[in-house]
Amino acid sequence: MKVTDVKITRFTYMSQSIRDTDGHGHAAPKDQAHEAVQNVLTIETDEGISGHYFGAANPGTITGEWREYLVGKDPLYREMIWHNLKNRQRSHKPTMADRVLTAVDLALWDIGGKAAGMPVHKLLGAARDKVPAYASTMVGDDVPGGLDTPEAYARYAIQCKERGYPAFKLHTWQPPLEGAPSVKRDIAACAAVREAVGPDYPLMLDPYHNYSRLEALELANGIYELGYLWMEEPMDEHNMSSYVWLCEQTKLPICGPETAEGKMYVRAEWIKAGACDMVRSGCGDVGGLTPLMKCVHLAEAFGMHLEVHSPGVGNLHALGAMVSPGLYYERGLLHPFVDYDATPPWLNEPVDPMDSEGFVHISQNPGLGLNINWDYIHSHKVD
């Protein structure tokens, strides 16, 4: 099999979310739904099988300077292609972001699964066909009825529990919101949620990402007392020594790194240094499913949890190929005003349908299992 073409199709849709100046997503007020652009990467082959991935970063890079790494190559040689692209990143970091590698790698896995006639998690070696999810909120806001107070988080946690989610994670208030960040307010929100859902319901926290050591410690110890399962990224992850310090000071499990560059290499360093109690990676963080599985096996060899970051079809297949550790699928980001269960217009069915018991079911269709609405995409195409 040979790759014959690589292309990006861009199209519009009505978005329910907006981004603040620091890049955090919020629910758009009901009357402010707005037109946004999505894209789908397609890798075509001479055997009529195509692979697809939605949301490729820097699409021009893939169809431009990266073409030579794909066109004419056997798409089943995912490992070799991924290494070639990764090695080329050394001198091209601004354009060859890990998220670009992610898009290419996942489209190649889609082709691989379709060629084999099996879903990707079975191609990897399946462990399960459904994964428990946790409700992962958007960051806090100042919108009445949104996520504007500790009590609002508590009310929303009950709603998510009733929907069937077996666990709940707060993303709390972040700048540029007035009054943020605040350790005291974060703890107040965590306490209100604990009070609402009862003592045994698993809870996690992902707060402001640039607290000082002492602020991170105060927060960790505060939510340890509330029986929280883990905390993510309370400090800049480039400062690994601060994470070593934090892990030594608190009993609360610290989960990371999530956003730090460096793929499986940096995760190996964090494990060796004792900078985390649980490992964190997702396809989008490390450059695809190929390196995510390296991180999964790295964590497994050290007897550590790897908690997969972000929703998405690639992450779901990875979870389907893990027995343990790796507790949950992250479903979100959720907000009282956003209908996460609605199928996006470019698909005919959602990629992560969740049943009333809180299990997300992995598609049994060949490849990634995306059921794409090409009619919608072609009728909303932009140049």
- Chain residues binding Mg ion by CB under 5 A are 206, 232, 258
- Bridge-based pairing of strands 34-45 and 3-15 is antiparallel
Minimum CB–partner distance for residue 85 and Mg ion (Å): 25
For residue 181, say if its preceding peptide bond is cis, omega within 30 degrees of 0. Answer: yes
Minimum CB–partner distance for residue 52 and Mg ion (Å): 26
Q: Which is nearer to Mg ion, 206 or 215 (CB)?
A: 206
Q: Which is nearer to Mg ion, 256 or 366 (CB)?
A: 256
The DSSP string of 223-277 is HHTTT-SEEE-SS-TT-HHHHHHHHHH-SS-EE--SS-SSHHHHHHHHHHHT--S
Tokens of 373: 């609405």
Q: Which is nearer to Mg ion, 38 or 137 (CB)?
A: 137
Distance CA 60, CA 64 (A): 6
Minimum CB–partner distance for residue 34 and Mg ion (Å): 26
Distance CA 159, CA 249 (A): 34
Q: Which is nearer to Mg ion, 206 or 218 (CB)?
A: 206
Minimum CB–partner distance for residue 285 and Mg ion (Å): 10
Tokens of 75: 């798409």
Q: Which is nearer to Mg ion, 174 or 290 (CB)?
A: 174
Residue 58 carries which side chain, given as an amino acid letter?
N
Minimum CB–partner distance for residue 171 and Mg ion (Å): 7
Minimum CB–partner distance for residue 219 and Mg ion (Å): 14
Minimum CB–partner distance for residue 220 and Mg ion (Å): 15
Distance CA 340, CA 71 (A): 36
Q: Which is nearer to Mg ion, 41 or 205 (CB)?
A: 205
Distance CA 67, CA 202 (A): 45
Q: Is the dihedral of CA 229, 233, 238, 240 positive or negative?
A: negative
Minimum CB–partner distance for residue 383 and Mg ion (Å): 35
Residue 351 neighbours by CB under 8 Å, 6+ apart: 311, 312, 313, 316, 363, 368, 369, 370
Q: Which is nearer to Mg ion, 201 or 208 (CB)?
A: 208
- Secondary element (H or E) of residue 204: strand 203-206
Q: Which is nearer to Mg ion, 51 or 282 (CB)?
A: 282
Tell me 101's DSSP state.
Answer: H
